[in-house]
Amino acid sequence: MEFLIVSTLNGVIYGMLLFMVSAGLTLIFGMMGVLNFAHASFYMLGAYFAYTLSGLFNFWVGLIVAPLLVAIIGMLIERYMLRRVHAHGHAHELLLTFGLVFIFEELIKLFYGDFPVSYQRPDYLNFAIFNLFGTDYPFYRVFIGLVALLMFIVLFVLLTRTRVGMVVRAAERLPDTARALGHNVPMVFLGVFGAGAGLAGLSGAVAGAFFPTNPNMALELGVIVFVVVVVGGLGSLAGSLIASLLIGVFSSFAVGLDWSLASLFGLIGLGDWANSLGGLVTMPLSSISATVPFLLMLIVLLVRPAGLMGSKN
Amino acid sequence: MDTETQSDVLVIDDLRKHFGGLEIMRGVDLTIKHGERHALVGPNGAGKSTLFNLISGEHRPSGGHIYLQGQRISGLKPEQISRRGLTRSFQITNVFSRMSAFENIRIGVMARHGIRFNLYRRIRPMRAINEESHALLRQVRLDHRADSLASDLTYSEQRALEIGMTLATGAEVILLDEPTAGMSRDETAYMVELIRQVTEGKTLMMVEHDMSVVFGLCDRISVLVYGRILATGGPEEIRSNQEVQSAYLGEEEEH
Amino acid sequence: MRYALIAILALLALLIIAPPLLGTGWQYALINALIAALFAAAFNLLVGQGGMLSFGHAAYFGVGAFTVIHLMQSVEYGDFPFPTVLLPLAGAAVSLLCGVLAGFFATMRSGVYFALVTLALAELLHSLAPHWDEMFGGEAGLSSMRMPSLGLTFGSTLEVYYLTLAWVVICIGLLYAYTRTPFGRLTLALRDNEQRIRFMGFNAHGTKILVFGISAMFSGVAGSLMAISNETANYSVFSTQVSALVVLHTFVGGSTIFFGPIVGACVLSLFTFVVSGVTHSWMLYQGIIFVLVMLFAPKGIGGVIQAHIEQRHSLPWKRLAAPYALATLAGLMVACATVFVVQSLEIVLSREYAAAVARTGEYAPYTVFGLEWRVFHPLTWLFPLLLLVPGLYMLRRAFARIQTLWDNDESDDDGDIATTPELMEGGR
């Protein structure tokens, strides 16, 4: 019971964090057709910038200014790099962002070293919010969830209730028509790219103070975020929210479970036979927890490439 | 089912197609005879392109049948239909843009000879293939452009190349989708002459908007309106058909 | 084309004659460069010729490597005799099989979705391998030893080098021959227009599976050679980095030209060998080179060279000489400034330097380009700035001039340097 509640809570919060990063990625793909490999790098940049700023000023300055800096970097990339290679097609844009991943990772290593930095949350945020079955539950986890929730509400209101949001949604569906109607589509792209980068930066700034901040964080999170946007359906915000929660909860549960295919066979009385096979069949879920998301991604791509909520094929 | 004779090359029987709830083809019956040049005309949105897509295997029919030389082809894949002797061109230029004109044709000739997975011979010494490709290129009057990239050809040269590629597959039945669209008067005249020459002895079905092309080139004409064949007949018959006039030709003259 | 043949033969002669005169370090670097070249050529069969961008080619490279290690182990334990020389055949066979299987599924999708399927497949293997002891030896991986065969002991790096060279030359030769078969031509047609080949009577899915399989097969040979050379393999051969590196090599070299990726792989892996001994930031430099190529030379180094060869008769070489010299000089200035800044940062921001500062309380001078620099001296930071700003300005001017000279002289095709039939078709 304890495991169930704590794991669910951890999973939901991790899922909301995943959503904060994947929201920008999926929005950018939906509008511009660019699959931005460097998106998780923005997450990493957010964490490192916030680390530096919180050292120079305080935690809150880092939390607010770091995402803005990341958004500016994102806009510069869109304006001076992506737009330049746009004529060569989407594959080329994708390759360009792919190269940027290495540059960002190496720059971070250059400035901060190969090892994790100790990006700390302030002490007054460091308390147990409640006690579950004798275990303290850290407030900061809840804080991450709250920031994500706040961001989701802001994003939702922006997209559905404001003029800008309408243009964004129009430009997403029919860029040429939107342009013909006199909207400045390149400007919208610039804004969306910047906003997406800023969101990833914000999640880095929040999460970096809880999870390790190291040069590998972009690559590690990057592949999971890809899984999320694919499973949710490339371009679908609602889809990636569901997929984020799904994968968040799954990862959190899988770590603690030692189920295997063999135990599944055990249910129908074939346990001994399955155990004798060894190999994949007896591998516990906890050790293949990193594999399952990719399997899910693969199945979605092959069976329903539009994803859970996507409508485009 | 109509009585099927040797001369009926393509028989379409009560063909239906709907996308979701939208009914595009509402029971088309059409018979194309061997060696005829048949035009398919009709207002925009009548379903001409959809009919081509159904015949050539791009889409599966929702109902009805299509027979080619007496064999059912409805439900087959495009490549299977192509191998049975029916091939098509496209409304928009659809060539291998980064290959030379000669190579564009040669791919078609390879298809005709059933060379699909040949990895053990060089293509350059294959004399029959190369000579046939050159002959076809001459036939569509592109021999002087053999080595140019397809993307470097002029628009009308690309359309001619398309027709050459269609011929190269050795098809007996050729479907051309608006072969003169977007051409000047001179280019159109040139293209009509070319089509007349190269389809000699083959069966041709074409979608065409230019009525002078239709009446000048085709033996029979079918008028497609809202997913149904309104009328089929010779040029004179169609010209004088009252129903057709009101549904289609009249509208055209207003332009 | 005759010159190209002579150049290739000369290069081959050099590759045969030179290595005994080099140290083992260089021999080893050449082995890696050859393997990277074959891997890139195999990858480019899929990407450049088949038009399918894969982000998970490490999978087939790794499958080749593990196949060979397993086989080497059974040879080592005397279970199964198999000549070391022919080991890559086994890697090729298993990779072909895996490639056909994976290709069957992956080629059901196209574009970004295809890329994501290949990525997912490789990540699947990469995340599974460290937990699967019997197959991949867990996190430590598997090791074995090269057994003597055909009178060769394979004890020295040089012998391994010649084995690698032979396999790489044969395989690249086969890949080149592929481009001149009917199926090779069909592959190009597939890249240009999949719909059209279907309507011409070809089975597009089957064609794509075979292209994928063959590309995987030659990638497997490259992986096999890597396993033979290292005598070990672990799950990291499936990593994103391996898939990424081959993408980098291929596109820096130029994917529209057969020899582009091979040149890119050789240049970049030898660059890595030389530079990684001097600086930790070699990957940064490689990333910068890749992004610059993507931005300013979309068809890669090979594309630039090819454009020059094609236009050699029409270009105003005399008038181009000055701007080219200016561009070279400016490029060197900018590169120099960049390297200076990166190397300075690498030293000043390192842990060792911070420790020294903490210990002695002062910022000691450091050495870059053989000169001493002080961290807080204005000249230290003025120097790269003085190179960078005029360098960038000169580069802009030079390229504007080069652009006009090229445009003026273009005959009928407007600088389009796509895959020309001459190059792909070979001897005309």
Is B5 contained in some domain?
yes
Q: A145: domain range?
A: 2-258
Residues B3 and B46 in one domain: yes
From C292, C308, C324, the end of a domain falls on: C308
User: C277 and C384 in one domain?
Assistant: no
CATH code (residue B161):
3.40.50.300
Q: Do the domain assignments include residue A302? A: no
For residue A233, is it within any domain?
yes
Picking from C411, C418, C281, C424, the residue whose alpha carbon sits closest to that of residue C350 is C281
Contact: B99, C192; criterion CB under 8 Å: yes
Q: What tokens does C247 get?
A: 């993408």
The DSSP result for B217-248, as a single string, is H-SEEEEEETTEEEEEE-HHHHHH-HHHIIII
Predicted pLDDT of residue B239: 83
Whether residue B103 is contained in a domain is answered as yes
Q: Is residue C428 part of a domain?
A: no
Contact between A255 and A280 under an 8 Å Cβ cutoff? The reply is: no
Q: Which residue has tokens 């063999």?
A: A262
Average pLDDT along chain A: 83
Six-digit token pair at B5?
């004779």
- What residues in B contact C203, CB-CB < 8 Å? 79, 116
Whether residues A103 and C349 touch (CB distance < 8 A) is answered with no
Q: Which of B13-27, B236-250, C203-217, C363-377 reaches the highest mean pLDDT?
A: C203-217
C416 in any annotated domain: no
Provide the residue count of chain C. Answer: 428
Tokens coding C401 = 């001039």
Cβ-based interface (< 8 Å): residues of B facing C: 56, 77-79, 82-83, 87-88, 90, 94-100, 102-104, 106-108, 110-111, 115-124, 126, 129, 147, 149, 151-152, 165, 168-169
Give per-residue pLDDT as tens, C74-120. 988 887 888 888 999 999 999 999 999 999 999 999 888 899 999 99
Count CB-CB contacts under 10 A for residue C189: 25
Residue C126: its H or E element: helix C112-128
Same domain (yes/no): B217, B166? no
**Residue B194 in domain:** no
Q: What is the DSSP letter of B69?
A: T
The model's pLDDT over B112-155, given as tens digits with 9 standing for 90+, comes to: 998 988 888 889 889 999 999 999 999 999 999 999 999 999 98
Range of the domain at B134: 89-170
Taking contacts as CB-CB distances below 8 angstroms, the residues of chain A near C254 are none
Q: How far apart are CA C199 and CA B166, in angstroms?
A: 9
Smallest Cα–Cα separation from C257: which of C297, C312, C210, C207? Answer: C297
Q: Check whether residue C92 and residue C142 sit in a common domain.
A: yes
Q: Are residues B107 and B141 in the same domain?
A: yes
Mention every residue, 6+ apart, whose C-beta is less than 8 A from residue B231. B222, B223, B237, B238, B241, B243, B244
Domain residues for C242? 2-308
DSSP character string of C385-423: HHHHHHHHHHHHHHHHHHHHHHHHH--SS-S-----HHH
Same domain, C336 and C302: no
Same domain (yes/no): B109, B155: yes
Angle in degrees, CA C96, C98, C101, rounded to 5: 105
Cβ burial B106-130 (10 Å sphere, 16+ → b, else e): bbbbbbbeebbebeeeebeebeebe
**Taking CA atoms, what residue in C is nearest to A92?**
C294
**Structural domain contains residue A231:** yes
pLDDT given at position A88: 85
Considering the domain architecture, whether residues C405 and C274 belong to the same structural domain is answered as no
Are C257 and C108 part of one and the same domain?
yes
Region B22-40: mean pLDDT is 91
CA A6 to CA A244: how far, in whole Å?
Answer: 18
Are C269 and C322 part of one and the same domain? Answer: no
Residues B46 and B100 in one domain: no
Q: What angle do CA B110, B112, C427 make, to 5 degrees?
A: 20
How far is the C-alpha of B171 from the C-alpha of B168, rounded, in Å? 8
Q: Are residues C53 and C145 in the same domain?
A: yes
B163, part of any domain = yes
Let me know if residue C19 belongs to a domain: yes
Q: In 10 A of CB C277, how many CB atoms?
A: 9
What are the distances in angstroms from CA C381 to CA A109, C332, C344, C413, C414? 21, 18, 10, 46, 43
Q: Which of B170, B196, B225 is the last residue of a domain?
A: B170
Q: Write the CATH number for C30.
A: 1.10.3470
Looking at the fold, whether B60 and B93 belong to one and the same domain comes out as no
Whether the CB of C217 is below 8 Å from some CB of chain B: the reply is no
- Please report the pLDDT score of residue B211 as a whole number: 86
User: In the sheet where B71-72 sits, what is the strand order?
Assistant: B22-33, B8-19, B63-68, B71-72
| Beta carbons within 8 Å of C123's beta carbon, 6+ residues apart | A223, A294, C56, C240
Classify residue C417: in a domain, yes or no: no
Q: Are residues B151 and B131 in the same domain?
A: yes
Residue A125 in any domain: the answer is: yes
Residue A272 neighbours by CB distance under 10 Å: 10
Residue C422 belongs to some domain of the structure: no
Same-domain check for residues B80 and B117: no
> What's the confidence (pLDDT) of residue C409?
57
Question: Which chains touch A (3+ CB pairs under 8 A)?
Answer: C
For residue A69, the SS3 value is helix
| Tens-digit pLDDT string for chain C (428 aa) | 678 889 899 999 999 999 888 888 999 999 999 999 999 999 999 999 999 999 999 999 999 999 999 999 998 888 788 888 899 999 999 999 999 999 999 999 988 889 999 999 999 999 888 888 888 888 888 998 888 777 777 878 899 999 999 999 999 999 999 999 999 999 999 999 999 999 999 999 999 999 999 999 999 999 999 999 999 999 999 998 899 999 999 999 999 899 999 999 999 999 999 988 888 888 899 999 999 999 988 899 988 888 888 888 888 888 888 889 999 999 999 999 999 999 989 888 888 888 888 888 888 888 888 888 888 888 888 888 989 999 999 988 888 888 888 877 554 443 333 332 322 222 22
Element (H, E) at B27: strand B22-33
Both C235 and C176 in a single domain?
yes
| Nearest chain C residue to B113, by CA | C201
Asked whether residue A206 is assigned to any structural domain, the reply reads yes
C56 and C107 fall within a common domain: yes
pLDDT of res. A312: 43
CA distances from B124 to B41, B134, B138, C240 (A): 43, 13, 19, 40
Over chain A (313 residues), the average pLDDT of each successive run of 10 is 79 90 87 87 94 90 93 94 86 91 93 86 76 77 88 84 76 65 76 90 90 86 89 84 89 72 67 66 70 87 78 43
Closest Cβ opposite residue A295 in set C115, C124, C342: C124
Domain count for chain B, please give it: 2
C427 within a domain of the structure (yes/no): no
What the block records as the tokens of A222 is 């990057």
Query: What DSSP state is assigned to residue A258?
Result: -
Q: Is residue B160 domain-resident?
A: yes
User: In whole angstroms, what separates CA C412 from the centre of its chain?
Assistant: 33
- Contact state of C192 with B87 under an 8 Å Cβ cutoff: no
- Calculate the dihedral angle through the C-alpha atoms of C306, C309, C315, C317, rounding to the nearest 10 degrees: 110
Classify residue A285: in a domain, yes or no.
Answer: no
- Quick check: C166 and C228 in contact, CB under 8 A? no
Counted domains in chain A: 1
- B1 and B77 housed in the same domain: yes
A158 belongs to a structural domain: yes
Indicate whether B112 and B163 sit together in one domain.
yes
Chains A and C touch (3+ CB pairs under 8 A): yes
User: What are the pLDDT digits (tens) for B182-204?
Assistant: 888 888 999 999 999 988 889 99
Q: What is the predicted ipTM?
A: 0.88
Q: Which of C308, C335, C352 is the last residue of a domain?
A: C308
Q: Answer whether residue B198 is part of any domain.
A: no
Domain edge (last residue) among C308, C335, C357: C308
Chain A residues whose beta carbon lies within 8 Å of the beta carbon of residue C284: 102-103, 106-107, 109-110
Burial category of A297 from C-beta neighbours within 10 Å (exposed 0-12, middle 13-18, buried 19 and up): buried
Residue C293 sits in the same domain as residue C371: no
Which of C271, C298, C266, C295 lies closest to C282 in space, CA to CA? C271
C80 and C176, same domain (yes or no): yes
Determine phi and psi for B136, rounding to 5 degrees: -65, -40
Q: Chains with ≥3 Cβ pairs under 8 A against C? A: A, B
Q: Is C98 helix (H, G, I), strand (E, B) or coil?
A: helix
Higher pLDDT, A262 or B55: B55
**Alpha carbon B153 to its chain's center:** 21
**Does residue A17 contact residue A210 with C-beta atoms inside 8 Å?**
no
Biggest CA–CA distance in chain B, Å, is: 61
